Structure 1
Amino acid sequence: MTKKSVPASPQIVHIPAAGATGSTLSKEQKAFNRFTKRISKLEKEVADFREAATHLRQRVQNEYRPLQQQHNDQRAALVRVLDHAHDEYKLTKTERDKIVDIIVYGCVDLLDWGYDDLEPIFDKHDPPLRAEETAEAEAANAQTAEMMKQLFSQQFGIEFEADADVNTPEKFQAYVAQQMAAQEEEFAAEEAQRAERRAKRKKSPKQQAAEEKKQAEEKNSTKAVRTLYMDLVKHLHPDREPDEAEKARKTELLKQVTTAYEANELLTLLRLQLELNRIDQAHLENMAEEQLHYYNKLLSEQARELEDALQAERMDLSAFTGQPWYALTSPAAMDLDYRRQKSQLQAKIKQLAAEVLAFGHDPAAVKAFLKTYKIPKDGPGLMLVSLPL
């Protein structure tokens, strides 16, 4: 989606509560004010969010990424000192098993971060499976795959070919994704055929009238925007302007007008008309109800597009940070969440540095640490830190 333009200091477009005759606002006038107010609010929210998101991305790159590197450096140092303790300190079998769990399950991701010198340590504590263990693992994977095949067949109607290789989570996921894509493509083709058949059916008089009314409203709405656009183009056309500074100003304004017209931004065009004195407040107050009706349809669509733009900004930032989009609702919330995560990471680095220093020369410190550590029944150990940024 093209990012919606957001004026730095937008002209207020609003119909006063009482016109020249002192009468109250009509339904369409109230709707017009409601939409223009909503759009102005959304424009500010989008602009503020974009600015805050850009600032956050810069802070992550300049501040948080170096801290992640420090954190991984300390985790790598912890692997080395624990490996040394495993081999050199007088420990019980349970204590050595805990060290192996921390190294193998809690820190193996360090290989993906470029700590290749740790590979011999991981290989030592996590040797390749023996033949019988490999066979057992393959049998377990096959059994799990069969259960998942039945589940996905029942839930999503996916048919698994007899020779489909889905004995690992990665292969299973890839196969399911391929089948789901094929299903979606087939559904889209069927829906296109149904739409084509519906289009060929003879419409009832009521349906025909509704369609004609819709087409007429769309035509009138398009005409309303084009009328504003042409008025501004004629006023701003720079070719006959002798003054170079004024010519440059009009050229820039004409770019804004064209951008707003192409994006169907009615409110932006109205703002420019007010700014350039092409219309005045009395013009808005005395605008025909039918004209306001068409304007309100366009303003409603402009508000929806801004809401979509704001949500797209949130989703983009969510993909960058790993945080759910609903936790990134405002610049203040984003700043608070970032400072919290940064503080937590700094505390982890400090704690790891102290542990590495103590474990390197004090067996009692290692034993005290291992006494509090419990091997999880399933999944990775406690030292695997999945950072959200």
Structure 2
Amino acid sequence: MTDTAILHIPEQDKPLNKKQKEFNVLSETIEALDRQLADLQQAYDEMLRRIPSDLDPLVREYQGYRADIVNLWDRTYEAEHFRKAYQTKLAYLIIENAYDLIKNHDRSELKPVFNKYSATDIDVLLEEERLRESARIEDPAFLLESVYEPEPEVSFHELSEEEQQRIKAERREQRMDQRTREAQQAKTTKSVRSVYMELVKTFHPDRETDEGEKQRKTETMQRITKAYQENNLLSLLKLQMELEQIDRSGLENLNKNQLSYYNKILRQQIEELGQQKVLIQQKISAVCSLPYQHANSQVTVIAKFNTVINGLKVEIKNIKKTYKHWLVPSQLKAYLKPFQIPDQPEGELEE
């Protein structure tokens, strides 16, 4: 926010009283929250800009290697290199990984592989999952985070790779636009609207008949509107004080009732800014897996985002090595032998 450190009661001939000290602390807290919110918003916007170029290609590459491994397991199973106990484990791994890749990463080419080992057709399972997701629409919290995306007339997976990427980019842009609109709507807090409406009632120029006074009120309203659009409570309060002929040097002379009013408004703004901070922190956490309580600066957030990218690069190197390693049946068998299917009793495997 602009125009910081604008409300401060100086300590002159006598010490400040309790309400004056509270006024200064509240004002400073709002300025700090304003700066932090702007900093976190810049971090979030930077991550969104970088996702299509820096993160998405790595995710696609990694999931591509996962799909290669699923196909490798399928070929190994059919080649009958292993006894039934090993094949049972391979079938489990194929089902688990293929389902995730089909549902969450658009790898529909794995559907035949999944159906080969699953007792239930993949499309039936996906429809059941879709119905469960649809039921969540009744949750208001879910509605706030959702963006409606109409189903294409042609199945997404029947489109070319280029067309799929185009649609994904369009949907990503739509989500970003929606988030921007939501952010703008949420940006103006109740405390700011409250002060703004009081000022508008007094200084709106439309009903003014005197041209000179109308011009003065028009200029004042421009300043009021600018502060309102910036969600800058301190600027609005400063304007209110100026218009009430309370200059900065006279802040120490505010009476008890005036200070109580201003402190109440400032406390309300702090609470609302704190809620905005949590919301942007949670959005950041969803992108880079940083615990939202730790998302307190742009430097920290971007450092974590870079760590995610670098970590994914390492994972790609590792999965490439694993794939090459498992091309040798004996090495894949060495991995499968100690592997235990969840919720199944442990048993010995025969060589």
Equivalent position SS for 1:378: coil
> Aligned pair count?
280
Pairing 1:301–2:268 present: yes
Asked if the contact 2:200/2:221 (under 8 Å) is kept, the reply is no
User: Where in structure 2 are there 5+ consecutive unaligned residues?
Assistant: 122-127, 141-192, 345-351
Indicate the residue corresponding to 1:38 in structure 2.
29
**Could you list the per-position Cα deviations for residues 80-135 of structure 1 after superposition, in whole angstroms to 9, with x for gaps in the alignment?**
12222222263233332222222112332222233232222222223459xxxxxx
Indicate the residue corresponding to 2:342 in structure 1.
377
Indicate the residue corresponding to 1:368 in structure 2.
334
TM-score (norm 2): 0.64
Match for residue 87 of structure 1 among 78, 82, 85? 78
Asked if the contact 2:74/2:113 (under 8 Å) is kept, the reply is yes
**How far apart are 1:28 and its partner, in Å?**
1.8
Separation of aligned partners in 2, 1:224 and 1:108? 54
Pairing 1:337–2:304 present: yes
Asked if the contact 2:3/2:235 (under 8 Å) is kept, the reply is no
Separation of aligned partners in 2, 1:288 and 1:87? 87
Equivalent position SS for 2:16: coil
Separation of aligned partners in 2, 1:288 and 1:301? 20
**How far apart are 1:253 and its partner, in Å?**
2.9
Equivalent position SS for 1:101: helix
Indicate the residue corresponding to 1:67 in structure 2.
58
Separation of aligned partners in 2, 1:358 and 1:104? 21
Match for residue 56 of structure 1 among 47, 67, 88? 47
Equivalent position SS for 2:71: helix
**Judging changes above 3 Å, is the alpha-carbon distance between structure 1 residues 111 and 172 closer, same or farther for their aligned structure 2 residues?**
closer
Indicate the residue corresponding to 1:28 in structure 2.
19
**How far apart are 1:69 and its partner, in Å?**
0.7
Pairing 1:256–2:250 present: no
**How far apart are 1:270 and its partner, in Å?**
3.5
Indicate the residue corresponding to 1:325 in structure 2.
292
Separation of aligned partners in 1, 2:111 and 2:248? 74
User: Where in structure 1 are there 5+ consecutive unaligned residues?
Assistant: 1-6, 130-167, 182-221, 242-247, 380-389
Indicate the residue corresponding to 2:9 in structure 1.
15
**Judging changes above 3 Å, is the alpha-carbon distance between structure 1 residues 282 and 350 closer, same or farther for their aligned structure 2 residues?**
same
**Judging changes above 3 Å, is the alpha-carbon distance between structure 1 residues 127 and 305 closer, same or farther for their aligned structure 2 residues?**
closer
**Judging changes above 3 Å, is the alpha-carbon distance between structure 1 residues 225 and 17 closer, same or farther for their aligned structure 2 residues?**
farther
**Judging changes above 3 Å, is the alpha-carbon distance between structure 1 residues 74 and 376 closer, same or farther for their aligned structure 2 residues?**
same
Indicate the residue corresponding to 1:312 in structure 2.
279
What pairs up with 1:1-389 in 2 under 5 angstroms? Answer: 7-18=1-12, 22-88=13-79, 90-112=81-103, 113-128=105-120, 253-257=223-227, 259=229, 266-272=233-239, 280-319=247-286, 324-360=291-327, 362-371=328-337, 373-378=338-343
Cα root mean square deviation, aligned:
4.3
Separation of aligned partners in 2, 1:296 and 1:251? 24
Separation of aligned partners in 2, 1:128 and 1:117? 17
**Judging changes above 3 Å, is the alpha-carbon distance between structure 1 residues 333 and 87 closer, same or farther for their aligned structure 2 residues?**
same
**Judging changes above 3 Å, is the alpha-carbon distance between structure 1 residues 32 and 128 closer, same or farther for their aligned structure 2 residues?**
closer
**How far apart are 1:285 and its partner, in Å?**
2.1
Asked if the contact 2:86/2:333 (under 8 Å) is kept, the reply is yes
**Could you list the per-position Cα deviations for residues 266-309 of structure 1 after superposition, in whole angstroms to 9, with x for gaps in the alignment?**
52223457899x75332212222221121111111111111122
Asked if the contact 1:89/1:363 (under 8 Å) is kept, the reply is no
Which amino acid is the alignment partner of residue 223 of structure 2? L
**How far apart are 1:66 and its partner, in Å?**
1.5
**How far apart are 1:39 and its partner, in Å?**
0.9
Equivalent position SS for 1:376: coil
Asked if the contact 1:52/1:331 (under 8 Å) is kept, the reply is yes
Asked if the contact 1:358/1:365 (under 8 Å) is kept, the reply is yes
Asked if the contact 1:317/1:325 (under 8 Å) is kept, the reply is yes
User: What percentage of residue pairs aligned between the two structures are identical?
Assistant: 25
**Judging changes above 3 Å, is the alpha-carbon distance between structure 1 residues 272 and 378 closer, same or farther for their aligned structure 2 residues?**
farther
**How far apart are 1:233 and its partner, in Å?**
6.6
